[in-house]
Structure 1
């Protein structure tokens, strides 16, 4: 482990967890929950910006759908490889013309979280007080199947809620990654300190609420029946 990572992330999180625990009468579990919420609140503007971009991308994809369906039908019906290549280039040109990237997944928030997760992990492992502290029914420094299961379920629900904000084509592309995320969380948490799935469970619950807030702020309302009647 590099000295930079140890100083900036591990020591910072260890100090923060201990300091906040003092506010909660020595409860490291409540300290981790509180610190998780702080981290999520700090990331919230970035996540909402990503949500807004996804919503704009969804609207563009929906507007392009008739043209894309036509091109995709032609690709499906032709067996000429040159013609298929030409149609695929036409489809990519359509994406570029309208500023659409169907593979855009917003990896920046995920990358930002990696040092945070590793910082939490080593801060807990490196502190005897945190690692031996009991919270609710589990020990923070030992793995626990129930908090692990809760974290997996929460992130599956978070994935389902987030799917409502992207187009049908993107949903197909991201379905595997979305299902892989809770599975990986469960697999990793089985041999990790219970404090990590606690972080994921709290963070995932926050993300669900954040997604609902994003939908309220940025989702374009569907045209009303009255408006459609008036146009007719």
Structure 2
């Protein structure tokens, strides 16, 4: 669980770093140089442009379409992450027994705890870092899309529904925080994380942080966050929940 928290904090740091550097305030064009610009940001910007042109210059609709496409393409990684999370959840009772057995804080006991914990992981084919890897792999793509939205000049001058895509929108910022909270709550429902105070704290900190960003960033970016959250909520309901129920049914039959 500590590894997941560290991964979340690391991703937060990377997002904060990338939001303040890497030419984020400079428009992306075909003349932009550098690997990040040429092979990540510019292609994503052109994809937004393509769907905007296909939908009658609706950049808001283009952002929604591209967000859904990206989330669907990343679905295999999300499924892998869910399976890893489920595997860790399954061995939580045994991990708890080990911690109670080796509750002493002396170095020798803690070393024995680490050894038996690793043996438990190997016995059940569990990699404690496997749940973090899919998230790390996704981050360059998602951050690249964030840059494409922020640096595509045409987006700043267009409207979508009631939104001025180049300006912040308070309602959308609140919706961003709310959907982030719901998505995280559904992810933790019924799992060991639901009883973990640190993960419970992150469930409130992350929505507040993302919602605060959305109050100051252009609404085009908040639109991307909200749509992405809704897709993740749908994935959690239609993939994670059946997966958990199937595992529980199998466990009961045994």
What range describes the TM-score normalised by the shorter chain of this pair?
Answer: 0.7 to 0.9
Provide the residue aligned with 1:48 in structure 2: 79
Provide the residue aligned with 1:203 in structure 2: 228
Alpha carbons of structure 1 residues 50 and 110: separation in structure 2 relative to 1, 3 Å: closer
Structure 2: gaps of 5 or more residues: 1-21, 23-32
**Aligned residues, how many?**
217
8 Å Cα contact 1:55/1:165 also seen in 2? no
8 Å Cα contact 1:27/1:135 also seen in 2? yes
Provide the residue aligned with 1:155 in structure 2: 180
Provide the residue aligned with 1:92 in structure 2: 114
- Matching of residue 134 in structure 1 with residue 165 in structure 2: no
Deviations 1:165-192 (A, max 9, x none): 6425873342333332212211222221
Aligned pairs for 1:52-63 (under 5 A) are 52-63=83-94
Alpha carbons of structure 1 residues 105 and 175: separation in structure 2 relative to 1, 3 Å: farther
Aligned-partner Cα distance in 2 for 1:7–1:85: 51
Q: Secondary structure at the match of 1:54?
A: helix
8 Å Cα contact 1:58/1:165 also seen in 2? no
Provide the residue aligned with 1:187 in structure 2: 212
Provide the residue aligned with 1:78 in structure 2: none
8 Å Cα contact 1:159/1:179 also seen in 2? no
- Matching of residue 17 in structure 1 with residue 17 in structure 2: no
Aligned-partner Cα distance in 2 for 1:21–1:56: 42
Deviations 1:69-93 (A, max 9, x none): 3433xx3xxxxx6xx3333223222
Q: Bigger CA drift: 44-53 or 18-27?
A: 18-27
Q: 2:248 aligns with which of 198, 218, 221?
A: 221
Provide the residue aligned with 1:146 in structure 2: 171
Q: Secondary structure at the match of 1:190?
A: helix
What is the CA RMSD across the aligned residues, in angstroms?
A: 2.7
Alpha carbons of structure 1 residues 162 and 105: separation in structure 2 relative to 1, 3 Å: farther
Deviations 1:19-77 (A, max 9, x none): 111222221111101100000001110110110011011101224433433433xx3xx
Structure 1: gaps of 5 or more residues: 76-80
Q: 1:32 aligns with which of 26, 38, 63?
A: 63
Q: Secondary structure at the match of 1:143?
A: coil
Larger C-alpha radius of gyration, 1 or 2? 1
Alpha carbons of structure 1 residues 62 and 144: separation in structure 2 relative to 1, 3 Å: same
Aligned-partner Cα distance in 1 for 2:133–2:227: 20
TM-score (norm 2): 0.74
Alpha carbons of structure 1 residues 165 and 38: separation in structure 2 relative to 1, 3 Å: farther
